[in-house]
Chains A and B, each alone.
Chain A
Amino acid sequence: MAVSAAFTNAASTSDAASHDPHALMRIKNLQLRARAVVEGFYNGLHRSPFHGFSVEFSEYRPYTPGDDPRGLDWKLYARSDRYFIKRFENETNRHVYLVLDRSRSMGFGTLAYDKSQYAVTLAATLAYFLSLQRDSVGLLTFDESVGEFVPARQRPGHFRQLMVALSRPLAGSSTNLDVPLQQLAQLIAKRGLVILISDLLAPLQTLQQNLGLLRSRGHEVMILRTLDPGELQLSLPGPTTVRDMETGRELYLDPDAAGEQYNQNFSAHREQIRSICNSLGVDLYELPTDQPLADALLHVVSNQKQRSGRAGRRGMLARGANRGGRTGSQGGGP
């Protein structure tokens, strides 16, 4: 009972944090934040209508001390009087690389936290979630050049190494998508999942080429585009002088005159990204920073489900033709 009550309290706290980014960001420790999101996500799985939908049961394995008691299959225990952990489909040993944008543009934010904090938390959450699934998680940070690179591992202490790399402060200047993607394609030998966490506020001339390079190597690519609500809809109180956080260029701006043009340009940029991703079979999800981070986990899980539902690895192009690419700005199932 006590365990159950404590579990219930912890679950309620994690639920709140996973659903409210503001509450989540008040947790100063990055690892705790990630854990709160994941735990809240798992709790949601039990209550969510998506329970058992996006995460398929794959097999049972005997319970060993240290396993999460929430994974116990109580029906099987009733039948067998033995403790077995349900092993879900996503508990497969994959190599997942988190490619995190640490440029200055990620430091923008109109909320109590900026995109970089949200993206770091998102990366930590994914790392924790994937680590629980016994996936090997690697990390590559970039701005105008490659920053941190942590090879994908799945061993004790590796998660902590990832947290250390993620905790370093924002120091980059401009955004260069070419370098990290090209370098990653060269560094990764084994096929895996590349999750790009970026705002993609950069010229897109070579994005298709770089993403295509990864896809041609057999990697799966998922883009989690983190955007601030102030970027989705230009919100300035009045005429002001704005300063580009990456280039430092200043511009006098009258929002009344520039809002419409901004929206047009932004939408065109967004459509271009979507077109690129659709053509390459890259999953693109927009994550506004005011949305719960647990939605990202749903995207990852959904991706895993779709991957497992296909008949083997039939290649990038066939997959892309069957699916027609899938993009979404919100979490959700097919």
Chain B
Amino acid sequence: MSLLAPLYVLGALAVALPVLFHLIRRQVKDRTPISTIMFLPTSQPRLTRRSRLENLPLLLLRALALILLALAFSRPFLRSTSTAEADAVNRRVIALVDTSASMRRGDLWDQALTQLANVTENLRPGDSIAVVSFDAEPRLRIGFEAANELPPGSLRDLGQRLFAGEQPSWYATDLAAALRFAAELATAQDSGSTAESTAALAAADEELVAPAAKVESQLVLISDLQSGASLDSLQGFAWPQQVPVEIRRVVPSRRSNAWITLPNEQPASAAAGEAAAASAARTFRLRVSNAADSLHSQFRLNWLTPTGASIPETVQVPPGQSRVVHVAQPPQGALAIALSGDDHDFDNVRYYAQDPPLEQTLLFVGDDADEPRESLLYYLQRISLSTPAREVAVQRHTAEDGPLAEFHQERIGLVVAAGKLDAQAAEPLRRFVRGGGRLVYVLPPAGDNGLAESSLRLLSGDEELQVGEASVGDYAMLSRIDFTDPLFLPLSDPKFNDFSKIRFWAHRTVEAAPQQWKTLASFDNGWPAILEREAGEGQIWVFTAGWQPVESQLALSTKFIPLMFGLFDSARADVAATKLRLGDPVPAAAGTASQSMVRLAETTSGHEQVIEAERIERPGVYQLRGERVTTSAVNLAESESRTEPLGDDELERMGVILGTTVPDEVAAQTQRQLRDVELESQQRLWQWLLIGVLGLLALETWLGGWLGRRRRATA
């Protein structure tokens, strides 16, 4: 028998007290006067034959009634063995271990391994565990089945064996992907176990055996939860109700962190002008950011070269802010710039690939007016398309220059054609486009005997195209723009996507365009403004209106330069594709006799390292050496440098259900208590005990009266 409120049983002990006091000391309240005590000795109370309990049966009845009453208050119940076994709850624990670059700070990695060891040590018999590590993508280290097959007792040091000798990677943190992966792993297991437990319960009912223990899933997230971790993909993910997440946060002892962002990592259109200005001033422009919880604000920057470091320069950046600073130009051979003065150095080195600027040309072909208001070229020449990675020259080819020669794809970044094009002039342009070039054709006014239409047909090869002149009242505006297209994507931000202020005084109409033509922008009258077509390996953009002031305000708007950069940068996609990033596969040809991937040493203590791995796994300056040497700077993702801790509410906002792992003993005890309360409420033994008490009291009353009557009769 078990008791729900065992403390009430102590009330039964009170029965012994008056009996004991009665035997030990029969203290008489009344004082008997006596003439003198001079003849009396002092005597101690002792139990004699006369000092015995009287009416023993009555005393026993009363004592028994008190005991039963105390027992009734203690709420007894009978607990069967089957219910005891059903208290057991098995758990499926999925440990998510953060192995991203931010875990390289201080002793975070050791803390993470300690937390993992704590999880495995608290596993009970019947529990199972799976371990998933994550950085940019989740990776299952060991599943439930494999862990269950391990020898008993070996789970305690599972973390040590799985991550022996490992250090965190250099990748960014995609926390959302890791959580989704773990949640799907848990629900996949739960659905299987639910079916098993349902079948077991059915079998238990039939065979009257103890039901199987319940299974619960639990995610244990071991991470520093830095604010740079990606959580976007959790939006819209329905988090399973039965999978709570326990956060085991690892916290560094020091938290100040600052990092560098280089110009080539910033939007080129925004940085180009400033970069040019910095170049002119013989300084190098970069951005230094300081974490919001940082305690330091003064840092030092110096260039790293294989021959030594440069003299450090001091910068001041308050916590939570970033500053664009101008430092000295990188010395010859500089491969990285280092920051010092914060507490964590995992992100302090920013690698810099000093490729010589690629010389490129923007070629203008066709007729153009001399008057600036009527000239297309005039405004092209006013755009500085040069960046530290390229030098762009604007050239013009006129009819006087003779027929167009074959274009070198890599040198001609973009061809802008305007005016009428005859077959002789159009053919090289067509070959250029089919070979991968980029061509922008500005339709001339359609009133020139259909020359615009013929020119367009010659360039595109589409004979169905019909070009006319639109009838514009006061002006036309751009109304519909495809911001998903890479040309307009940079301008999709609400701060930049208002094109309604640009007025067009005249434009052509293009109709009957085949399906290959895509309208990127349309006027408010419905006619297309900018069309795009892929031709061969290249692309053609057609502007139905010029950007010069005589036709529109486009050249004078703030959208013109980004548009031109977008047109020119799209032409550099293939060049950009050669730039490496962390996690990118090493080119297949590397490692052969003809080509090799080498990681350059940025300091005097380093050395070149030939890469034999399949992927780029660490930041650095890599050179692909073959027929051509391509140098790429591979840097840590900037998001990993944002080390301010995320609040737990961020995860809850994303729909993640948080829950603390209740210690095993507490959980089992809680479950047992709930079951005991239910059992006691069903059995209600206290009612029978109270009936017994009433019966005893009735018997005691009758016996007391009978004894009293007999005593009186005897007297």
Contacts and interface: CB of A to CB of B under 8 A. Distances in A.
Q: Does B associate with A?
A: yes
Interface of A: 105-108, 115, 199, 201, 203, 228, 231, 236, 238-247, 249-254, 256-258, 261-262, 265-266, 269
Contacts of B30: 240-241
A239 B26 contact: yes
A240 B51 CA distance: 12
Contacts of A243: 31-34
A253 B33 CA distance: 12
Q: Which 7 A-B pairs have the closest CB atoms?
A: A108-B35, A265-B39, A105-B35, A201-B36, A243-B31, A257-B43, A242-B34
B48 interface: yes
A242 B39 contact: no
Given A254-B48, A256-B48, A257-B43, A105 B36 contact: yes
Contacts of A265: 38-41
Given A257-B43, A262-B40, A240 B32 contact: yes
Contact of A231 (B31, B35, B45, B48): B35
Q: How large is the interface on B (under 10, 10 to 19, 20 to 34, 35 or more residues)?
A: 20 to 34
B34 A239 contact: no
B45 to A, nearest CB: 6
B605 interface: no
Interface residues of A: mostly helix, strand, loop or mixed?
A: mixed
A108 B34 contact: yes
B42 interface: yes
A115 B33 CA distance: 13
A270 to B, nearest CB: 10
B49 to A, nearest CB: 8
Contacts of A266: 39
Nearest to A264: B39
A235 to B, nearest CB: 11
B28 A239 contact: yes
B50 A238 contact: yes
A249 B37 contact: yes
B46 interface: yes
Interface of B: 26-28, 30-46, 48, 50-51
B42 A251 contact: yes
A151 B603 CA distance: 139
Contacts of B43: 252-254, 257-258
B40 A253 contact: yes
A134 B48 CA distance: 60
Given A238-B50, A239-B28, A254-B46, A269 B39 contact: yes
Contacts of A249: 37
A56 to B, nearest CB: 38
15 contacts: A203-B38, A239-B45, A239-B51, A240-B30, A242-B34, A245-B35, A245-B36, A246-B36, A251-B37, A252-B45, A254-B43, A254-B44, A254-B45, A256-B48, A262-B39
B615 to A, nearest CB: 99
Contact of A258 (B31, B36, B40): B40
B45 A242 contact: no
Contacts of B32: 236, 240-243
A240 B31 CA distance: 7
B35 A257 contact: no
B31 to A, nearest CB: 4
A254 B41 CA distance: 10
A76 B392 CA distance: 187
A250 to B, nearest CB: 6
Contacts of A254: 43-46, 48
